[in-house]
Amino acid sequence: MTIYNLGSINADLVYRVPHLPGPGETLAAKGFTRGLGGKGANMSVAAARAGARCVHIGAVGADGGWAVERLTEYGVDTRQIAMSDEATGHAIIYVDDAAENSIVIHPGANAALSKASLIAALSEAQEGDLFLTQNETTLQAEGARLAKSKGLRVAYAAAPFDAEAVKAVLPMLDLLVLNEVEAQQLEEATGQSVSDLPVQEIVVTLGSKGCRWLKTEIDSTQDYPAFKVTPVDTTGAGDTFTGYLVAGLDRGMPMEQAIRLASKAGALMVTRLGAADVIPDLKDVQDAAF
Ligand code: RIB
């Protein structure tokens, strides 16, 4: 089947710094790279590298041809990426020696996708396909609603976290992926425990502690350990996890198998500096000796 991913496309400007800068501090970077990123683009690349057919729905500006070319090169179907009058989105990313990061994004074209483009992009979608989105574009709820009405399974990664954005898509979701902090924020915002949310499958990532799968209908919770690695850069690791997870499910894997594959891909990703350009392919993940 096909994954339709409504998601952001960013130029990631990555500065390697000795420590994350504090307020009013000026720091000299030890290194600089420019690469492809955006939570959406990262998830599309991860899904494609995991062997799924992934159609990316999004927008870039006139300066974004390189990003579309790269996505195509990485195996993503880019025919539904619109050209916008806005500049391509970008992210300023600091990565310190402890592999911690801090990220500022400028949405640009990611916030300029038209509803007509979204409708056109989903016109070929079929029952049983999967719709994925995150919170770095507009039209998430519209996309989720349209996808649901066409019989697609709907998955949402609640990042960057915004309680209102999650609440807007919640009624349409089959799968929600979020981290521990986001889960806590969502519990505060809804007054409900995550396990009581009206979503059948919820995966909470727990960083170095692994992840938790909640199957809410039957009140079951299963924990999975993380693979042990020495982190270099955690940027895009969560996106890699989600892309691999939905690709595994789309390819018919049971949730447990998809989670193990996604956890391994996410672990390998934190050993690499960068985002979409360095997302491991399926062979790298299968061969990883941990
Ligand atoms: O999740 C990592 C991503 O967040 C980066 O690639 C950056 O573009 C921001 O969207």
Task: Tell me which residue range forms the domain holding 160.
Answer: 2-279
| Closest-lying ligand 1 atom to the alpha carbon of residue 89 | 8
Does some domain include residue 286? Answer: no
* Residue 240 belongs to a domain: yes
Q: Is 285 among the domain residues?
A: no
Question: What are the φ and ψ backbone dihedral angles of 86, each rounded to 5 degrees?
Answer: -75, 155
Catalytic residue among 233, 239, 250, 277: 239
Q: Is 264 in the pocket of ligand 1 (CB under 6 A)?
A: no
What's the CA gap between 102 and 205, in Å, rounded? 19
Q: Residue 288: inside a domain, yes or no? A: no
Find out whether the beta carbon of 45 lies less than 6 Å from any atom of ligand 1: no
Q: What is the CA radius of gyration of the chain?
A: 18
Q: What is the pLDDT of residue 208?
A: 87
Q: What is the token pair recorded at 50?
A: 């995991």
Tell me how crowded residue 232 is: count the other CB atoms within 10 A of its CB. Answer: 16
pLDDT in the model for residue 290: 84
250 is catalytic: no
Distance 133 CA to ligand 1 centre (A): 14
Q: How many domains does the chain have?
A: 1
The answer to whether residue 284 is domain-embedded is no
User: From ligand 1's centre to the CA of 248, what distance in Å?
Assistant: 22
* Contact call for residues 11 and 104 (beta carbons, < 8 A): no
- How far, in Å, from the CA of 236 to the mean position of ligand 1? 6
Tell whether 64 is covered by a domain.
yes
Three-state SS at 108:
helix
Q: With contact defined as beta carbons under 8 Å apart, do 78 and 280 qualify?
A: no
What's at 216, amino acid-wise?
T
Q: Which whole-number Å values give the CA distances from 16 to 67, 98, 232, in the listed order?
A: 22, 11, 11
Asked if residue 14 is part of any domain, the answer here is yes
Q: Whose CA is nearest to atom 10 of ligand 1?
A: 38
Name the pTM for this structure: 0.97
For residue 287, being part of any structural domain is answered with no
- The pLDDT score that the predictor gives to residue 243 is 98
**CATH number of the domain bearing residue 199:** 3.40.1190.20
Q: Which H helix or E strand runs over 83?
A: strand 81-83
Per-residue pLDDT tens listing for the chain (290 residues): 999 999 999 999 999 999 999 999 999 999 999 999 999 999 999 999 999 999 999 999 999 999 999 999 999 999 999 999 999 999 999 999 999 999 999 999 999 999 999 999 999 999 999 999 999 999 999 999 999 999 999 999 999 999 999 999 999 999 999 999 999 999 999 999 999 999 999 999 999 899 999 999 899 999 999 999 999 999 999 999 999 999 999 999 999 999 999 999 999 999 999 999 999 999 999 999 88
